[in-house]
Amino acid sequence: MFQFPFILAAVIFFFLLLIFLFIMVQVGLVTVAFAKLGLTTSQAFLVLLATLAGSGMNLPILHSRRMIKVPSPNGPPLNNPFYRHMRPMRPFQAMGELRKQVVAVNVGGCLIPLLLSAYFVSLMGFTPALLLCTALVTAACFAMARPIPGVGIGIPMLVPPLVTAIIAILLAPPEHAPQIAYVSGTMGTLLGADILHLLNPRTWRNLDAPVLSIGGAGTFDGIFVTGILAVLLA
């Protein structure tokens, strides 16, 4: 079990973030930015809300032959997006049964950014700046991502947005900077931190999480913050 104050703090933070985003959109501080991204005010808020809500949804796409010991029902929920921000009251419980390792895609951290990126690319096309920015962000995220025991692959939350900001400011044309920042930041993080590491057999052997979530667990924070940064760059 987790201490109640930490769970309460996580829930309060979630709702305060929603209120903050709603106020920011409604008062018009980011309306112009979202307009440059090609979204209306209502669409912008719905995307942010869907991203947060979808962060806890994983859709299985592959069942590996590798058998992984899953936590017992009394153990901590390792794939919970709030887990890294809470402290257990006692050490890990005894491990439970063996199950096949599952590879899944996270709705909020993978599917929604993928669909939104496809929409932005349809507006501006594949440009050399977009491809170069995406490649550089991918390389940086691949170098910084590391396996996290029981969780999957993780990357420091501020690495993707900071790298994206620097690269987009230096290389992206001003008229497309927000779109390029979003696409290169989110796709670069997914490719570099998750997909390329999952395709690496040496990394895979070090991943002992029951569910390997693309865009979830250890990488969702970076992807979400990168998406917000794209708005700030507009």
What tens digit of pLDDT does each residue of 158-178 get? 888 889 989 998 999 988 888
**Residue that the structure tokens 């569910």 belong to:** 211
Exposed / middle / buried, residue 42 (Cβ in 10 Å: 0-12, 13-18, 19+): exposed
Cβ-contact 209, 78 below 8 angstroms: yes
In terms of pLDDT, which residue wins out, 80 or 123? 123
DSSP H helices, the chain, are 4-26, 31-37, 41-54, 112-124, 128-144, 159-171, 177-189, 196-198, 201-204, 220-232
Q: Which pLDDT score, from 0 to 100, does residue 80 have?
A: 47
Q: Which pLDDT score, from 0 to 100, does residue 30 have?
A: 52
Mean pLDDT for the stretch of residues 34-42: 74
> Does the pLDDT value for residue 87 go beyond 70?
no
In terms of pLDDT, which residue wins out, 65 or 112? 112
| Two tokens, residue 130 | 């977009």
Question: Taking the model in full, what pTM does it have?
Answer: 0.74
Kindly report, residue by residue over 94-153, the tens digit of the pLDDT.
456 777 788 889 999 999 999 999 999 998 888 999 999 999 999 999 999 888 777 778
How far is residue 217 from each of residues 20, 37, 180, measured CA to CA in Å? Answer: 23, 27, 25
Q: Which pLDDT score, from 0 to 100, does residue 81 have?
A: 45
User: What is the rounded average pLDDT for all residues in the chain?
Assistant: 77
Half-sphere exposure of 182 (CA within 13 A, CB side): 29
- Determine how β-strand 58-71 pairs with β-strand 95-106: antiparallel
DSSP string for residues in 100-132: EEEEEEEIIIIIHHHHHHHHHHHHH---HHHHH
Q: Bridge-partner residues for 147, per DSSP?
A: 153
> For residue 225, what pLDDT band results from cuts at 50, 70 and 90?
confident
> Does the pLDDT value for residue 78 go beyond 60?
no
Q: Which residues contact 36 (CB under 8 A, 6 or more apart)?
A: 178, 234
Length of the chain: 234
| Two tokens, residue 40 | 């209306």
In terms of pLDDT, which residue wins out, 19 or 193? 193
Break the chain into its structural domains and give their ranges.
4-232
